[in-house]
Amino acid sequence: MIFSHFPYGKKICGLLLLTVGLLFSQTGDEVTFEMKLSKEKLGINERLRVEFAMNKDGDNFNPPSFDGFRVVMGPSQSISSSWVNGKRTFSKSYSYILKPTQQGTFTIGQATIEIAGKTYKTLPNRVVITPAVDNPNAPKTADDVADESLHLVAEVSKANPYLNEAVTVVYKLYISPNISVTNFRPLDSPKYNNFWSQDIPVTKYNTQNTTFKGKPYRSVILKRMVLYPQKSGRLDIEPLSLEIYVDVPTNRRDFFGGRIYTQANKTVSAGKRSLNVQPLPEAGKPPNFSGAVGEFSFTVTTSKTSLNASESLQAKVEVNGKGNLKLFQLPEPELPSALEVYEPEFEENVRTTTSGMQGKISNNYTIVPSFRGRYPIPSISFSYFNPKTASYKTLSSEEITVNVLEGPADNLQTTPGITGRQKIPITSGNQFHFIKTQSDLSTISSSYFFGSKTFYLLLFGPLVFIPLVMFYRKKRAANAANVEGNRLKTANRLARKYLSTAKKELNNKEGFYVALEKALHNYLKAKLKIETSEFSKERIVGLLNDQNVDETTISQFIELLTSCEMARYSPITNVQMKEDYKKASTVISKLDKQL
């Protein structure tokens, strides 16, 4: 041996042989990757520990979905490496703490990992979840404490409302004094199908001391909604789900004796609530009832009662009070045909609080008389249903007489309410007296027509005019063939028509968003032939889907309606108003093309 000539040759040779042997022993080890469960059967109030262990280091670990469980903690990673009798052992694991979400038998699927360029998978395992056990083996974790200390409740103001009667839903979180909430985020927002809904923003979260199930708690209001049911019968309110982050005290203390807190998170749900919506009674329903539910007053006023012909006056039909003010139509006056009446201008001053809508709405009519005389504006009736007394009530305005002092006389009899007018011309016996019977002839000049400027203009004019006519007809045909362009022009004109009032109010936030919301509603009312009482967001989405409008356009339209509602309670800049105006113009154009 060569190494025998050196004093340390035998030792070096031994180390080399040991190293080679270790290398061969390592390459010969089989790769293992397996799932380990703390138990295969547990109560719904217990916890399950799942560990994915391997004997070689790997990358790109991918856990299963854990259907039927909620991850309380994890993944936690641990690595250990040791040498025993010259042999290296290695282990690596990913562990999770799971909480069952319901009873039953569930399968924890395969996890995967890449080791030395190959993909390895664990075998799936079945776990049986039984009803809660009286004495769980494991001590309470921070998540257990959070489960017992947090409760989200949906408080409904009325379980049996009438159709179109306001119902307030308050989402209140009850918190035990043992923990403190650090943050929360909504997981999903409920859809209030078959309701007209209005969100009442919570600007400040104030806590109050109260009790819950006989124990002391603190409560805080997180969300408030006002709902107007648009359908009678049993209606469900979808649950609101939140993820709450809390600090939970432990049994450990720090160096100064203070209690150590640990953070936990919990998903809470308010649960589904149901309303039994009563239909409005048929007995005693007035013929002119238009769906108004609440308590209202009704007036009809004019800006003046005496004027001259061709001057104008304003007649206002107004409803004031508390109820579904945005969900019914105002009655229309019947005026004599001698009074020219323009389309009314709708005004709305309504605010929504936790008790419902209150304020006033009105139609302002511009009236111009054509002849002098006395013209009556007949009494107008308005009917509504009062849910407090469960009865209908009809209010009538007083008759108003308009005196037109100066102007042409109306020789024809005018009947109030009849709009058609015919005038019969009156002739006299001298209707042909203007025809002259004596001629007055003069000599025509002797200038020649041929060779004159007029001659050449008439001769060559058509030759120049024909190409112009052909060009015009070709251009007109091209425009007619451009269906998409024509539709776009029409849609843009329609958008400008409905948004003209909103554009004038660009410097006034309240006026702008009221006008913008009215423009969007009036557009749908005109295109879809629906009544004002049907203007719920869910109803609008359903109608537009029936008309095959694409989802993007529908979403943009609903976002604009939401912006109009939210803008009344949040600061808005002129730049944002201009952006919303552009969006509204684009959305109306898109809708008109698709409708």
CA 338/CA 318 separation, integer angstroms: 24
CA nearest neighbour of 212 among 141, 153, 264: 153
Instruction: Give the number of C-alpha atoms closer than 13 A to the C-alpha of residue 258, restricted to the C-beta side.
Output: 3
Q: Which residues are CB-contacts of 54 (< 8 A; sequence separation ≥ 6)?
A: 31, 32, 33, 34, 91, 92, 93, 113, 115, 120
- Cβ–Cβ under 8 Å, residues 165 and 275: no
Q: Do domains 31-134 and 294-404 have the same CATH topology?
A: yes
Q: Which amino acid is at 262?
A: T
Q: What percent of the chain has pLDDT over 90?
A: 33
Query: Phi-psi bin for 361: left (phi > 0), alpha (psi -120 to 50), beta?
Result: beta
Q: Which amino acid is at 295?
A: E
**Fold exhibited by the domain 294-404:** Immunoglobulin-like (2.60.40)
Sequence-distant contacts of 257-263: CB under 8 A, at least 24 apart: 262/142, 263/142, 263/182
CA 177/CA 255 separation, integer angstroms: 24
Mean pLDDT taken over the chain: 80
- Cβ–Cβ under 8 Å, residues 295 and 253: no
**What CATH number was assigned to the domain covering residues 483-594?**
1.20.120
Q: Is the pLDDT assigned to residue 23 strictly greater than 70?
A: no
Lowest mean pLDDT among 242-251, 342-351, 415-424, 504-513: 415-424
Hey, how many other C-beta atoms are within 10 angstroms of the C-beta on 368?
Answer: 14
Specify the DSSP class assigned to residue 239: P
pLDDT in tens, 278-304: 999 999 999 999 999 999 999 999 999
Q: Is the pLDDT assigned to residue 114 strictly greater than 50?
A: yes
- Cβ–Cβ under 8 Å, residues 538 and 192: yes
Report, as an integer, the average pLDDT of 310-314.
90
Query: Phi-psi bin for 33: left (phi > 0), alpha (psi -120 to 50), beta?
Result: beta
Lowest mean pLDDT among 143-157, 398-412, 476-490, 493-507: 476-490
Q: Is the pLDDT assigned to residue 20 strictly greater than 60?
A: no
Burial class (CB in 10 A: 0-12, 13-18, 19+), 286: middle
Domain boundaries, the chain: 31-134, 143-277, 294-404, 483-594
pLDDT of residue 156: 94
Q: Which amino acid is at 239?
A: P
Instruction: Give the number of C-alpha atoms closer than 13 A to the C-alpha of residue 390, restricted to the C-beta side.
Output: 7
CA 357/CA 319 separation, integer angstroms: 13
**Fold exhibited by the domain 31-134:** Immunoglobulin-like (2.60.40)
Lowest mean pLDDT among 114-128, 152-166, 460-474: 460-474
pLDDT of residue 411: 62
pLDDT in tens, 158-191: 999 999 999 999 999 999 988 888 888 887 778 8
CA 528/CA 540 separation, integer angstroms: 10
Specify the DSSP class assigned to residue 506: T
